[in-house]
Amino acid sequence: MSPEAAAPAFRRPTTWVLPVVAVSIVMSLLAALYLGGILDPKENFRHFPVALVVSDEGDVLPNGEQANLGQQIGQGIADGIDAEKIDLKQVGIAEAQNLLANGDVYGAIVVPSDFTKRVSILTQASVVAGDIERPIVTIMTNPRAGTLGSSLMTTIGDTALDSANGTLGERLTTQATEALPAGATLSGAAALTLAAPVDIVVTPYDPLPDGTGLGLSAFYYALLLVLAGFTGAMIASALVDSALGFVPLEFGPTFLQRRRSTDSRLRVLAAKWLTMVVTGFVVSGLYVAIATALGMPIPNALGLWLFGVLAISAVGITAVSVLSIFGTPGLILNLVVFVILGLPSAGATIPIQASPALFGWLAQFEPMHQVYLAVRSILYFDSRWNSGLAHGLGMTLLGLVIGLVLGALVIAIYDRKGYDRTPAVTGSPGDEPEGLVDDVAQRSAGRE
C-alpha cells in the first residue's frame, strides 16, 4: 500500500488515540492497585492471624500471694489488641504448633509454664545479692507463611508485650521496694531490670532452608506458572490462528497469509486447548528441572510438576477461551484478571490480612492466589492437605471447569449463529487488504 493511501488512515484520531487511551487506563489501574496495596500494611491490618499460648502454671510470690502472672500477661495482651485488626487465637502449645505448621498463623506469642516462678525468683533476686535472670516470653515467627508476615508478627508481638511488660514492671518494682529493709533502696541495675522484667525473645518456627529466596521462591514459582498459562495462551492462539489462515504471520520482513481453514470456531478452540495442555506438561517439567539445577529445594518434585501441569492448563485454557469469546479485547481482559489484579491479591509479598479489603475480596477467586497457596504448601509445608494445597487444588480445578464450560458454550453459540471468522472490510477506500495469498511469503521490501 502506498504512503499516500496510508496517510489518511493515520490522520484519523481513532488510529492513535484509542491505543493511547487504552494503555493509559490499564497502566493507571496497574499503578493504583500495586502502590495502593503495599504502601502501608500496618494501617491495612484486618484479622491478621496470631496465636497466643499461655502455659504458665502459676506460683507463690515472695509476699505469699498465689498468682498466675502468665495469665495476667495473656489477658493484658488480649485486651490491648484491636480485635478487628488482629485475630488472636488463644490456644495450647500443640494447637499453636499445628497452626504454624499449616501456615494458618503468621506467628505465636508463647508464655512458658514457669513464667510466674521465674518472676518470683527475679523479685527476690532484686533485693538480695546474686545474678538476675529475667523470665522469657517467646515470639515465634512463621517465615514459611511469608517473609513480610514474619516481620509484621514481630512488630505486633513487641507492641503487645511492651505494654504488658511495663505494667508488670510497675507491680514488681512496688513489691521489691516494700520488701527492702527500712532506708534501703533498689540498686540501679535492679530497678532497670524490674522496670522491664520480661525478656522478649524472637525466634523463627521451622526456619526455611537456603535456596528459598527468603520465602519468596513459592511466589515466584506460582508467578511463573500463571505467566506460562497466560502468555502461553496468547502465543498459542496467535500461532494456531496463523497456521489455520485466520490471521497473517510475520517474521521480520516476511508476511505470510495461509488459505483460511473451514474448521468451526469450536474445533479451533479445542485445538488451542489441547495445545495448552501439552504445553503444561512440557513447561512444568522444564520449570522443575531448572529450579532443581539452580539449587531450589523441592521436597515433592512429582507433586510440584503435576500441579504445575494443572495450573498452566487451567490458566491457559481459560485465557484461550476469553480470547476466543472477546477477540482483541480479550487480551486486555486476560491481562487485568491474571496479572494486574492477580499480583497484588496473591498474598505472597504482602499478606492478604495486611492489604486493602479489596484484595481480600479478590483473593477469594483470583487465580494467582489459589496457585500460590498450593505451590507454597508443596514447597514449604510438606504438601499438607490443610496447608493450602486442598484449597489451591480445588479452586484451580474449578477455574479449569469454568474455562472449559464458558468457552465451549459461547463458541458453540457463535457457530450456531453463523458467526464465522470471515474478515469484514471497514474503512475508507485504499484501506482494503490486497488479497489473500496461499502459503506465499511476500517481502515488505518488494511491495509497492
Is the residue at 4 inside a domain? no
Helix (H) / strand (E) element for 233: namely helix 217-243
Query: Strand 86-90 and strand 48-54: pairing?
Result: parallel
Same domain, 157 and 255: no
Looking at the structure, do residues 198 and 219 belong to the same domain, yes or no? no
Question: Domain boundary residue among 168, 184, 204?
Answer: 204
Residue 440: the pLDDT is 43
Greatest mean pLDDT among 1-15, 58-72, 424-438 lies in 58-72
The CA distance from 359 to 374, in Å, is: 18
- pLDDT for residue 4: 47
174-178, 179-183, 436-440: which range is least confident on average? 436-440
In a domain, 371, yes or no: yes
For 244, what's the count of Cα atoms within 13 Å in the CB-facing half-sphere? Answer: 19
Note whether residue 440 is domain-resident. no
Q: Is residue 123 part of a domain?
A: yes
Would you list the DSSP string of 109-166?
EEE-TTHHHHHHHHHHHTTSSS-----EEEEEE-GGG-HHHHHHHHHHHHHHHHHHHH
Our count of domains for the chain comes to 2
Whether residue 36 has pLDDT greater than 90: no
Within a domain: 8: no
Residues 171 and 239 in one domain: no
Residue type, 213: G
- Mean pLDDT across 325-344: 92
Look at residue 40 and tell me whether its pLDDT is greater than 90: no
Distance in angstroms (rounded) separating the CA atoms of residues 116 and 66: 10
pLDDT per residue as tens digits for the range 217-240: 999 999 999 999 999 999 999 999
Model confidence at 204: pLDDT above 50: yes
pTM of the model: 0.86
CA distance 370 to 399: 10
pLDDT at 395: 97
Does the pLDDT at position 246 exceed 70? Answer: yes
**What pLDDT is stored for residue 433 in this prediction?**
46
For residues 55-64, give the mean pLDDT. Answer: 80
Residue 1, domain member (yes or no): no
Name the band, by pLDDT with cuts 50, 70 and 90, for residue 128: low
| Domain membership flag for residue 428 | no
CATH number at residue 143: 3.40.1710.10
Q: What is the rounded average pLDDT of the residues 417-423?
A: 79
Mean pLDDT, range 252-272, rounded to an integer:
87
Count Cα neighbours of 446 within 13 Å in the Cβ-side half-sphere: 5
Per-residue pLDDT, 438: 44
* CA nearest neighbour of 52 among 86, 103, 13: 86
- The answer on 380 and 281 residing in a single domain is yes
Q: What local confidence, expressed as pLDDT, does residue 423 receive?
A: 67
Q: Does the pLDDT of residue 109 top 70, yes or no?
A: yes
- Beta-carbon contacts of 248 under 8 Å, excluding residues fewer than 6 positions away, are 242, 255, 256, 257
pLDDT at 424: 63
Average pLDDT (365-385) is 96
Residues 320 and 176 in one domain: no
Range of the domain at 92: 45-204
Last residue of a domain, one of 204, 237, 253: 204
Residue 185 and residue 224 in one domain: no
Q: Which of 165, 181, 204 is the last residue of a domain?
A: 204
Residue 445: what pLDDT? 39
- Write down the pLDDT at residue 437: 43
Q: Which of 313, 428, 371, 442 lies closest to 12, judged by CA? A: 428
Cα 187 from Cα 184, distance rounded (Å): 9
Q: What pLDDT is stored for residue 186 in this prediction?
A: 60
Q: Are 188 and 230 part of one and the same domain?
A: no
Query: What is the Cα gyration radius of the chain?
Result: 31
Same domain, 271 and 408: yes
Same domain, 200 and 259: no
Which residue, 194, 199, 161, 188, is CA-closest to 175? 194
Q: How confident is the model at residue 131 (pLDDT cuts 50, 70, 90)?
A: low
Residue with cell 528441572: 289
Spatial contact of 346 and 369, defined as CB atoms under 8 Å apart: yes
Q: What is the per-residue pLDDT for 168?
A: 81
Asked if 402 and 216 touch (Cβ cutoff 8 Å), the reply is no
| Residue 193 half-sphere exposure toward CB, CA atoms < 13 A | 20
The answer to whether residues 89 and 218 belong to one domain is no
Q: Which residue has the higher pLDDT, 344 or 175?
A: 344
Same domain, 377 and 231: yes
User: What type of residue is 61?
Assistant: L
Average pLDDT, the chain: 85
| % the chain with pLDDT above 70 | 85
Confidence of residue 434 (pLDDT cuts 50, 70, 90): very low
Residues 289 and 373 both lie in one domain: yes
In a domain, 230, yes or no: yes
